[in-house]
Amino acid sequence: MAQWLSIMWLTVALTTGVNIPSPEEWSKLVKKVHPRLLVPSNDFEGVRRLTGTNTTVAKLYSSVRQQAMRILNEPPSRYEIPDGLRLLGISRRVLNHIYVLALVYRIDGDKRCVERAWHEIEAAANFPDWNPRHFLDTAEMTHAFAIAYDWLYDQWSEEQRRIIVDAIVSKGLERALEVYRNRGWWTRARHNWNQVCNGGIGMGALAIFEEQPKLCGEILTSALNSLLLPMGEFSPDGAWAEGPSYWNYATSYNCAFLAALETAVGTDFGLSNMEGFSETGLFPIYITGPLGRTFNFADGGDGTLRSPHMFWLARKFNKPVYAWYARTTASPHPLDIIWFDETGGDPQAEGLPLDKHFRQVEVVTMRTAWNDRNATFVAFKAGDNRANHSNLDIGTFVIDALGYRWALDLGADDYNLPGYFGVLRWSYYRMRAEGHNTLVINPSKEPDQDPGAFARVVRFVSRKDAAFAIADLTPAYSAHALSVRRGVKLVREAGRNAVVIQDEVELKSLGDVYWFMHTPAQVQIDGATAILRQGDAVLLCRILSPADAQFTLMEAKPLPSSPDPKGQNPNAGVRKLAIRFSGIKELHCCVILIPLRKSQEPPKDMPSVEALNKWQ
C-alpha cells in the first residue's frame, strides 16, 4: 500500500512540476537555527521596529499585547471534549495563546509571557493524547507546540525542550506517520483536512528536525506529496469548492506551511507555482459583499474572513490588493504583524473588474461598485454537490443592496446533529435545496437535488451597464426535469439598479415547482408584487412572468412532504418569499428585484422578458 501511494504521489509531483526531496535529503536542507518558522532568526528585530514606526502595526500590536495580558491571568487549558468527538476548541485555544505570548515576548521581552506559555505547554504535554481520531485536533496542537519550541527556543531549559519534543513526537508525528504509511483518508483528501493536517504536522517536523531527522524527513516528504492533491483544487483561478469559511481554514494552513518551508529551508519546492494558487487571494475579495458579509455557500457562516495569510500571499505573488484586504479585515492576529504589508489600494484603485466568474467551482459575483457600502451585490452558484461540506444549493444566490442583505444563505447547522456528515445529511433543512434560494421540483422526503450533481455556468457576460450569468442546472434535477436553466442578471443603470432572476424549466411530466428566496426583511405581498423592508430601504420584488403567478410568504422550515428531523435550527427571524407552480410541464419564470430608498418611487415601466438564449 505504501509503495502504491509513493507511486501516486510521484506521478502527481511530476505532472505539476514540483520537486519534493526524499526523506534522506532533508538533513542537508533544514537550517540549523531558531527561530526558523515563519520568521527568519533575525527578523523579530525588524518586526519590533515596525511596531514603533508604523501606526497601523502599532495598533495591531497594542491589541495583541492586550490579549497577552488577559491570557496571563487565565488558567492553562484542560483536556476537554465537550461534544464527545472534538478537542479542536482546546487545540485552537493553545495555539492562539502560544502565538500571542511568544510574539509579545519577542517584541517586549516580557518574561511573564514565557512563563505563562510554559504553563500552557506543560499542561497540554500532559494530556493523554491530542485526540488523533479527529486528526485536525492533533495537527493544530502540533502547530502550537512547533511555534512554542521554535520562537521561544532560547528561553527553554534542556528539560523543557525535551518535554516539548517528546510531546510533538509521541502525540503528533508518530500518530501522523501511522496515517501516512497506511494511506489514511485525509492524506488522500482534496479539501481542508489535508492542508490542516499536513500543515500542522509538517510545521512540527520542521521545528524539531535536528532531534528526530529520520522521522521528520519521512513526515515532511509524505506531507508535501499529500499536499499536492488539495493544491490542485485551486486550479484554474483560485476558488474553493468548500465555500469561503473553509477556504479561509484550508488556505491559512496551506500558506503557513509553505511560509515555514521558505524560512526553514529556503524554498517551497515549487508548490506555490501550482496553477491557481497565486490567484486564490481574489476569491475572498470577490466573494465578500459591500457589507463585509460573504456569499457563504456550503457549510459556514457569512462573517468577514479574517485572513493574515492574505498579507503573505500579497508579498509572495506581488498582489498588493491582497494586502489591502488583509488590512481591512485584520482581527488582529500575531501573523497580521509578522506578515504586515502596507502596499495596495482597494479593488477599484487596483483596477479589478466588478464581476467575476470562478470556473470549476462555478460561482459568479457581480456588483455595482467596489467602495460603496450601499452598492448592489449579487452572488450566484452552480457548482458541485459532491464537494466536501457542500449543501444541495445549486442555483442559489444572495443579494446585498442599500446597506442590507436581502436574500441570505442560512449557513451550516449543528455539526453534532445525528448523521450530519452521514446518512441523514440530506434530511436537514439547511442542507437541502428548500433551505436555499433555488428551485425545488416535486418535493418529497428524498434529496431535493441530486447529491452527485455538478452544474456549470454556461455563459457569463460583464459590461459597464450590466452583467449576467446563465447556468445549466439540469444535472441537479435530472430525476424530474429534461432541462433547467437559471439566469441571474445585475442591471447597472445610473440611479437605478436591479437584479433579475429568470428560470426556464422543462419537466419530464406534469409536476410542481417551488421558487424560494430566504430573507430577514419585513414582507408585504400583493399578488405578483412583494415589498421587502429593512430600515429606510425597500426591495421591490415583482414577478414579470408568468402573468398569473403570485408570491406567498412561508416559514423557513421544511415543506409538509419533506423530512423534519429533531434538533434542527429553527431559523428564527428568517422567512422565505416563495412562488408555487402546480401541475406544470414547462415554466418560464422571471422575477425582478429593485432596491429603493423609502423616498424613491418604483419604476412605472418594467422591462420586457426575453428568453435566456437571447440575453445580451
What CATH number should be reported for the domain holding residue 84? 1.50.10.100
Residues 293 and 383 in one domain: no
Please give the average pLDDT of every successive group of 10 residues along the chain, which has 616 residues. Answer: 50 70 98 95 89 95 98 97 95 98 97 98 98 98 98 98 98 98 97 98 98 98 98 98 98 98 97 98 98 97 96 98 96 95 95 98 98 97 98 98 98 97 97 98 98 98 96 98 98 88 98 98 98 97 97 98 96 98 98 92 89 94
Residues 328 and 386 in one domain: no
Decide: residue 392, CB within 10 A, 0-12 exposed, 13-18 middle, 19+ buried.
buried
Model pLDDT, residue 12: 53
Number of structural domains (the chain) is 2
Residue 11 lies in a domain: no
Residue 347 lies in a domain: no
Residue 13 lies in a domain: no
Residue 16 lies in a domain: no
| Alpha carbons 368 and 193: distance in angstroms, whole number | 36
Residue 8 lies in a domain: no
234 contacts 280 by C-beta, under 8 angstroms: yes
Question: Locate cell 488556505: which residue?
Answer: 251
Decide: residue 296, CB within 10 A, 0-12 exposed, 13-18 middle, 19+ buried.
buried
Residues 305 and 365 in one domain: no
Name residues whose C-beta falls within 8 Å of residue 286's C-beta, 6 or more positions apart in sequence. Answer: 356, 358, 365
Model pLDDT, residue 239: 98
Residues 320 and 413 in one domain: no
Residue 223 lies in a domain: yes
Domain that holds residue 133: 23-338
Residues 130 and 266 in one domain: yes
Instruction: Go through the chain and tell me how many residues it has.
Output: 616
Residues 391 and 314 in one domain: no
Q: CATH code at 459?
A: 2.70.98.70
Model pLDDT, residue 1: 44
Last residue of a domain, one of 279, 306, 338: 338
Burial 425-446 (b: 16+ CB within 10 A, else e): bbbbbbbbbbbbbbbbbbbeee
Residues 320 and 367 in one domain: no
Model pLDDT, residue 4: 45
Question: Locate cell 399578488: which residue?
Answer: 527
Residue 10 lies in a domain: no
Residues 329 and 210 in one domain: yes
Residues 589 and 483 in one domain: yes
Residue 348 lies in a domain: no
CB neighbourhood size of 341 (10 A): 18
Residues 381 and 329 in one domain: no
* pTM as predicted: 0.96
Amino acid at site 134? H
Give, as one character, the DSSP assignment of residue 574.
Answer: -
Residues 366 and 319 in one domain: no
| Alpha carbons 363 and 223: distance in angstroms, whole number | 30
Last residue of a domain, one of 338, 371, 398: 338
Residues 125 and 44 in one domain: yes
